[in-house]
Structure 1
Amino acid sequence: MSAPRTAGRTPPARTLPPPDAARTHPRPPRRRPASRRRGGAWWFTPWLYLLAPLALLVTFTWLPVVDMFSYSFTDWDGISPTRDWVGLSNYTDLFTRPQLFQVFWVSLFYLGASAVQICAALYFATVLSFDTRLRNLFKGLLFFPYLINGVAVGFVFLYFFQPGGTLDTVLHWFGAGRHLWLGNPHLVNTSLAGVSVWRFMGLNMVLFIGAIQSIPPQLYEAAALDGAGRWQQFRYVIAPSIRPIISLSVILAVSGSLSVFEIPFIMTGGSNNSETFVIQTIKLAFNFNKTGLASAAAVVLLLIVLLVTWLQRLLFPDERVEQS
């Protein structure tokens, strides 16, 4: 007898389930991890971290702004518990004052000084971004004035500009005579604007240096291979790459020139045609007890800054810079 053929036997063919079996018996859904299921319930967690800064922002910024708007429509003197509604009379009184246009003329000196400040900061930032001997020392020296308190800066330059002081002594070496730098109405605003250039130029320089250092070095290498010098590298590589930072500096310069306060207030107190818009507002509120009129002036200043910022963004929109 021959042995049964078990090794070569083929297994029976498996029959596929009918097409409707998958519909009648669906696969059970996969359970998500517990962390994912609980994640949707904690969507408000980031807002818990933002609660404290938002509360401080609303308390010390937005609520005072709302109060300032409400005070501008009253005749409140800042002391009396009662204040009467006067409508737009504060704004009418403000725009009929010739001093308003005079203080804006003073702001033009600081605006011109801001242009000089930005140009000087760009120059030093570009030079100190390359391999320059003692560049870290020069960075510290140029940034140091920004770290000094504004009151100390004002008192230092009071001695610097006084008759027979440091500036007159240096100019005497070159045969120049003495000048009333802070007493002459034709020189006082130029002198004060020069102090602002010395103090704030270092801040813009640091901003520009940070932006320049973020430029890929391959762009400099490609420009050097094409025969570009330092000026061509600045014009075609550096300036287009840091355009957003330059735009930010221009916005800060315009708003800062309109709201100058501490340097002219400490050095001259607003005398000799050196009164700025903020000094005029402070005097209206605390010297003449016209808090309602001072609030209207502050609202006008805020609207002017917002308008100038909007126009600047409209005329010179920020374009996305591709660095490759």
Structure 2
Amino acid sequence: MPATHTTERAARPPSAAPRPPVPRPAPRSVRLWRGLTPWLFLAAPLALLVAFTYAPVANMLAYSFTDWDGVSPELSYIGADNYGEIFTRPELFQVFFVSGYYLAASAVQIALALYFATVLSFNVRFRNFFKGVLFFPYLINGVAIGFVFLYFFQDGGTLDSVLALVGYASDRAWLGTSTSANISLASVSVWRYLGLNFVLFLGAIQSIPGELYEAAELDGAGRWHQFRYIIAPGIKPVLSLSVILSISGSLSVFEIPYIMTGGATGTETFVIQTIDLAFRFNKTGLASAAAVVLLLIILAVTWVQRRLVPDDKVDLT
């Protein structure tokens, strides 16, 4: 009898659990306010972005189709004549050859930054000190750097004094010829922007899980194999970004050569030429067209680079 009673109790269906109450939908005004809240936070940055980025670009594009001198209140529409002048005057495009020096310097800069970031990502004595030394030049104002290296490269300046101490008497005018001046200016850019790429690479390397290094060491992999099979694939997106920034920066160099030489002795870049067209020769329309061409070239180079090296997801496991 007890067994039968137990069986009957077990055969009874369990009582259904009470359902939680269904929440009532929020009023329409509350749902509308929730939808508008993110846009209220975005209103200020979007307004600043439009006012100081997209609106000036739109004005620049409009000015490129005029012969405006930058002073007169009247604008005359001349169509694509400015663009035709840019592409038919060889001297306006010869300045891009100067960018080749900075492009070569960017390759050296990336290689050095990657080397130092790899070395200092491991346990090295005084590595925090060396991190600060490498990143410090990037914190200095570009104008100050230009004046410092102007005295560094002048005749009888710091560089000549250092070379004299090691027994090399140099009477070279480092900023006197086109080749030596461009090499000198490009080397200054390497010194200044090395810290930026160094920090980007170092952060990417330190984001790689440490278990991968431990497993590689157990398998007998040395530093070179760790770099080749762990570090290099792991920082591929950051390396791609660095290449894009280096190429665009090489095409739009302005600060260092403008301060140190003013574009003299064959050091004029495309941006310096554009500034001279606008403010020295009062050809704002032509300068705007040149700026649009430079923007399109940078966008095209970036697009090609992204196509050749797609930003794929990195999976090291």
Question: Does TM-score exceed 0.5, indicating one fold?
Answer: yes
Match of 1:217 in 2: 210
Match of 1:266 in 2: 259
- Check whether the contact 1:77–1:292 (CA below 8 A) recurs between aligned residues: yes
Match of 1:24 in 2: none
Match of 1:307 in 2: 300
- Check whether the contact 1:260–1:278 (CA below 8 A) recurs between aligned residues: yes
Match of 1:288 in 2: 281
1:236 to 229, 233, 242: 229
Q: Pick closer, same or farther for the CA change 1:231–1:40 going to 2, 3 Å.
A: same
Identity %: 67
- Check whether the contact 1:103–1:275 (CA below 8 A) recurs between aligned residues: yes
Match of 1:129 in 2: 121
- TM-score, with normalisation over the residues of structure 1? 0.89
Q: CA deviation at 1:38?
A: 7.5
- Check whether the contact 1:126–1:212 (CA below 8 A) recurs between aligned residues: yes
Q: CA deviation at 1:216?
A: 0.2
1:140 to 132, 135, 154: 132
Q: CA deviation at 1:33?
A: 5.5
Match of 1:177 in 2: 170
- Check whether the contact 2:230–2:316 (CA below 8 A) recurs between aligned residues: no
Provide the C-alpha distance between the structure 1 equivalents of 2:211 and 2:29, rounded to a whole number of angstroms: 47
Provide the C-alpha distance between the structure 1 equivalents of 2:67 and 2:309, rounded to a whole number of angstroms: 40
Match of 1:31 in 2: 22
- Check whether the contact 1:216–1:323 (CA below 8 A) recurs between aligned residues: no
Matched positions, count: 300
Larger helix share, 1 or 2? 2
- Check whether the contact 1:162–1:180 (CA below 8 A) recurs between aligned residues: yes
Q: Which string of whole-angstrom CA distances, capped at 9 and with x for unpartnered residues, describes residues 70-115 of structure 1? A: 0000000000000101001101111122222321000000000011
What runs of 5+ residues in structure 1 fail to find an aligned partner? 1-27
- Check whether the contact 1:113–1:197 (CA below 8 A) recurs between aligned residues: yes
Match of 2:37 in 1: 45
Q: Pick closer, same or farther for the CA change 1:89–1:37 going to 2, 3 Å.
A: closer
Match of 1:5 in 2: none
SS in 2 for 1:187: helix
Provide the C-alpha distance between the structure 1 equivalents of 2:229 and 2:207, rounded to a whole number of angstroms: 16
Q: CA deviation at 1:40?
A: 3.5
- Check whether the contact 1:77–1:291 (CA below 8 A) recurs between aligned residues: yes
Corresponding letter in the other structure for 1:282? I
Q: CA deviation at 1:34?
A: 6.5
1:85 to 66, 77, 87: 77
Corresponding letter in the other structure for 1:90? N
Match of 2:270 in 1: 277
Q: CA deviation at 1:31?
A: 3.2
Match of 1:69 in 2: 61
Cα RMSD over matched residues? 2.1
1:106 aligns with 2:98: yes
- Check whether the contact 1:192–1:264 (CA below 8 A) recurs between aligned residues: yes
- Check whether the contact 2:277–2:286 (CA below 8 A) recurs between aligned residues: yes
Match of 1:55 in 2: 47
Provide the C-alpha distance between the structure 2 equivalents of 1:85 and 1:39, rounded to a whole number of angstroms: 51
Match of 1:21 in 2: none
2:241 to 248, 253, 273: 248
Q: CA deviation at 1:129?
A: 0.7
Q: CA deviation at 1:175?
A: 2.4
- Check whether the contact 2:67–2:285 (CA below 8 A) recurs between aligned residues: yes
